[in-house]
């Protein structure tokens, strides 16, 4: 009796989860299906997911040529990789000092970290933009990276983690003659690797998606990041050519989604870890 009812419970649960999964995947199904359809069919064909006539080549070649798609994806990759690199480079020594060393101004510095956790880029974009304008930095790849080289969130996260590293380990390294900077890169970094990779995932997802700052600081097509590139594509596309638009969305969504599908555990653990510590 009990086993029968648990079976029914499980069936019900799987049905709810399955239905929900279909709802979640619904946009992805239509995105891919529509990217295969000719324009006439998009307007008329109704709910069929399988095209009657295939327009893969027409749609995808429009998506590849109307905007410099590969360049845009490369920009996204370069910008995200540079941001993560500099964020870790600057955050780790600072986090180590905040966690393990006593120095003058430590409280003030930690106050700045908390200020940074509060104030998002959107709120300070006006002075950043004005400064970049006068410095002639607008419309460069550098301006897409520079404002994000400082991540107070990374400092906060790494500080929490480094606090759990035993002092003995650091003392031993000092006895071995390592400088404080060497301790950061040779002792702390290898130990903090799980935190660092979790943060890297979080940061890449955030900056791969960011539209606000690129929209403000870059207006040239060849410097566009994926979200901005798609906005340019939409602007260049006068009518409702949804087939080509969906082909562009497939190409632009694919890299991060594929990365996720190959490294699901890393992604979910990364996002959870950074989420819960934040």
210-269 binders of another protein (CB under 8 A): 211-212, 215-216, 226-227, 230-231, 234, 240, 242, 245-246, 248-249, 252-253, 256-257, 259-261, 264, 267-268
* Region 126-145 residues binding another protein, contact defined as CB under 8 A: 126-130
Q: How far apart are CA 211 and CA 228, in angstroms?
A: 6
Whole-angstrom distance, CA of residue 256 vs CA of residue 185: 29
Q: Is 85 in the site for another protein (CB under 8 A)?
A: no
| Beta carbon nearer to another protein, 36 or 267 | 267
- Scan residues 53-82 and list those touching another protein (CB under 8 A): none
Site for another protein in 185-204 (CB under 8 A): none
In the complex, minimum distance from the CB of residue 159 to another protein, in angstroms, rounded to a whole number: 11
Task: Give the interface segment with another protein, choosing from 17-25, 57-65, 163-171, 191-199 (CB under 8 A).
Answer: 17-25
Contacts by 73-76, CB closer than 8 A, 24 or more apart: 73/226, 73/251, 73/252, 73/255, 75/141, 75/144, 75/223, 75/224, 75/225, 75/226, 75/229, 76/208, 76/225, 76/226, 76/255
Does residue 34 bind another protein (CB under 8 A)?
A: yes
- Residue 259 CB, nearest distance to another protein (Å)? 8
The values of phi and psi at residue 106, to 5°, are -60, -40
Q: CB neighbours of 215 closer than 8 A, spacing ≥ 6? A: 228, 231
Q: What is the DSSP letter of 263?
A: S
Contact flag: residue 83 with another protein (CB under 8 A): no
**Does residue 19 interact with another protein by CB under 8 A?**
no
């Amino acid at each position: 009796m009990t086993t029968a009812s648990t079976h029914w419970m499980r069936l019900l649960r799987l049905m709810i989860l399955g239905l929900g999964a279909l709802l979640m995947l619904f946009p992805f199904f239509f995105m891919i299906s529509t990217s295969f359809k000719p324009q006439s069919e998009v307007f008329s064909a109704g709910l069929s997911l399988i095209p009657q006539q295939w327009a893969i080549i027409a749609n995808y070649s429009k998506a590849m040529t109307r905007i410099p798609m590969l360049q845009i994806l490369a920009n996204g990759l370069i910008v995200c990789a540079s941001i993560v690199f500099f964020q870790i480079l600057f955050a780790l020594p600072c986090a180590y000092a905040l966690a393990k060393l006593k120095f003058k101004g430590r409280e003030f510095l930690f106050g700045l970290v908390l200020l940074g956790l509060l104030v998002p880029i959107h709120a300070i974009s006006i002075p950043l933009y004005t400064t970049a304008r006068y410095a002639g930095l607008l419309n460069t790849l550098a301006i897409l990276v520079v404002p994000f080289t400082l991540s107070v969130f990374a400092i906060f996260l790494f500080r929490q983690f480094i606090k759990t590293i035993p002092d003995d380990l650091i003392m031993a390294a000092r006895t071995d003659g390592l400088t404080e900077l060497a301790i950061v890169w040779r002792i702390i970094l290898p130990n903090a690797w799980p935190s660092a990779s979790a943060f890297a995932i979080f940061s890449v997802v955030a900056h791969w998606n960011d539209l606000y700052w690129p929209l403000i600081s870059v207006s040239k097509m060849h410097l566009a990041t994926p979200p901005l590139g798609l906005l340019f594509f939409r602007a260049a596309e006068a009518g409702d050519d949804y087939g080509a638009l969906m082909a562009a969305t497939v190409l632009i969504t694919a890299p991060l989604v594929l990365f996720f599908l190959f490294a699901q555990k890393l992604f979910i653990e990364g996002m959870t870890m950074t989420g819960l510590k934040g």
